[in-house]
Amino acid sequence: MNSMRYISTRGKTSPMGFQDAVMTGLAPDGGLLIPESIPDVRDRLDKWSELSYQDITFEILRLFVDIPDDALRSLIDRSYAPFTHEEIAPAVPVGDIRILELFYGPTLAFKDIALQFLGNFFEYILEQRDEQLNILAATSGDTGSAAIHGVRGRDRINIFVMHPKGRVAPLQEKQMTSVLDDNVFNLAVEGTFDDCQRIMKSLFRDLKFKNRYTLGAVNSVNWARVLSQIVYYFSAGLYVLKTDGADRVRFSVPTGNFGDILAGYYAYRMGLPVGKLILATNENDILSRFFNSGEYSLGDVVPTLSPSMDIQVASNFERYLFYKVGQDSIRLSQLIDRFEKDGTMQLDVGPDGNVDEVFESGIGDRQSTLDTIKRYYEDYDYLMDPHTAVGVSVGERFMRAGEPLIALATAHPAKFSQAIREATGRDLARHEYLDKLADAPTQCDTLPADQGAVRAYIESHVPATTAE
């Protein structure tokens, strides 16, 4: 069993094991938890390229977790059981590129991979400790539904998911409220997404309540989420290297909170032969501006065709920054302070104007998103969702002979059928599960945008987990 320890990017938290890191989420010093060292796996890659997706997962996870092999194997099987493709995440050749389809989970988006694992890690750890957990989440759509599907029906976990009433896409709302398990509580808050987040933060700050109900979070900075996403870079990368006889591969990644592409960065640091990681943003381009100029500064959030990437600050970016500044916690903390004060910070750029040798970055705007969807449909009879199209359109600008491009497909096109209609002029994107949702019964309670109301709701619906 592995003894990898986790440290904080800010350097003021004692090292802890994997299970504690999962339960802790955000480090107590305000930083993000990262593995103390990054394993080098280059000597194993030939062997790994013969393995199944499940077996590659096992080989990678066991380097990072303090869970016995047998329990880990069964946890992996349970996490992939709800996926509807036998290869879990196939890399499909389309035109000149490979499309890595990550949308075969229960909510048809790549977040399912991380949240199925997170649900199973929570369950395993709670069983070991004979404890209960109440998850409180605020969502504008995506993460909430993947999180609900990740923990539904589990004995030791309840989940309360707040969404802004009437402000979530109807389909995404349905994906949440149609889950009727006893441990799932959908709360429509009469306010905005910011109100939901404010309520969540204030309840987490109420330490007496937080401890009495063992409140936990599923946010995108949980190390277990990043870890479970490292796997598909290896599985797709090794497969394409082998079938194409190439020396390196490139990945293009539609990016919002920097969680997905960070997993690719870990894969690269572990020794996967990655030529470039191509970071694609929509018009909300804080990250692409950073990788092209070294300046990380806030802009306004504008709505786009790829709403899951409409972010202002990328919550996982701090992990990358830690490596970028030579693992110097003091320098990192200074940069973060500067950013929090001024809304901007500046890093050095290399002589070639690049911030990092492995990252390339660009923007896929509205028109190129629509054009890419249309072109792949007309030329290859392939439908992609708008997030995927942002990645493909930017990825194509950084193609290089001899380094196959693997474009990550982060959602099933049927989840964004309006964009498909706009791009192709036709109603093409359907999925049986989404069609069935239309008539599904739902469960949801409405509450005022007030932390007292949400606290009272929790108190009256589940027992306290600890005595006063």
Ligand X SMILES: *Cc1c(COP(=O)(O)O)cnc(C)c1O
Helix axes 111-129, 142-151, angle to 10 degrees: 40
**Beta pairing partners, 409:** 101
Q: Count CA atoms within 13 Å of residue 122 on its CB side.
A: 29
**Least CB distance from residue 367 to ligand X, whole Å?**
19
**Least CB distance from residue 327 to ligand X, whole Å?**
22
Q: Which of 12, 47, 111, 208 is catalytic?
A: 111
> Catalytic site residue 111?
yes
Q: Count CA atoms within 13 Å of residue 391 on its CB side.
A: 31
Q: Which of 281, 410, 417, 451 binds ligand X (CB under 6 A)?
A: 410
In the structure encoding, which two tokens stand for residue 244, read together?
């194409």
Of 164, 122, 213, 129, residue with least CA distance to 461 = 213
**Least CB distance from residue 78 to ligand X, whole Å?**
22
In the structure encoding, which two tokens stand for residue 129, read together?
């400790």
| 260 touches ligand X by CB under 6 A | yes
Q: Which stretch binds ligand X (CB under 6 A): 156-164, 248-256, 289-297, 374-382?
A: 248-256
**Choice between 99 and 309, CB closer to ligand X:** 309
| 257 touches ligand X by CB under 6 A | yes
Q: How many positions of this chain bind ligand X (CB under 6 A)?
A: 15
Decide: 55 and 61 in contact? Cβ < 8 Å. Answer: no
| 109 touches ligand X by CB under 6 A | yes
| 258 touches ligand X by CB under 6 A | yes
**Least CB distance from residue 111 to ligand X, whole Å?**
5
| 89 touches ligand X by CB under 6 A | no
Q: Which stretch binds ligand X (CB under 6 A): 123-131, 250-258, 293-301, 446-454?
A: 250-258
Q: Which of 97, 309, 335, 394 binds ligand X (CB under 6 A)?
A: 309
In the structure encoding, which two tokens stand for residue 202, read together?
């204030």
Residue 223's contacts (CB-CB under 8 Å, 6 or more residues apart) are 6, 18, 21, 22, 32, 33, 34, 35
Of 245, 229, 310, 325, residue with least CA distance to 277 = 229
Decide: 315 and 220 in contact? Cβ < 8 Å. Answer: yes
Q: How far apart are alpha carbons 223 and 273 in whole angstroms?
A: 23
Instruction: Tell whether the torsion through CA atoms of 208, 453, 190 and 171 is positive or negative.
Output: positive
363-402 residues near ligand X, rule: CB under 6 A: 387
Site string for ligand X, 178-207 (x = CB under 6 A): ------------------------------
Q: Which of 90, 119, 191, 256 binds ligand X (CB under 6 A)?
A: 256
User: Can you give the binding site for ligand X, defined by CB under 6 A?
Assistant: 109, 111, 142, 254-260, 308-309, 387, 410-411
Q: Which residues are catalytic?
A: 111
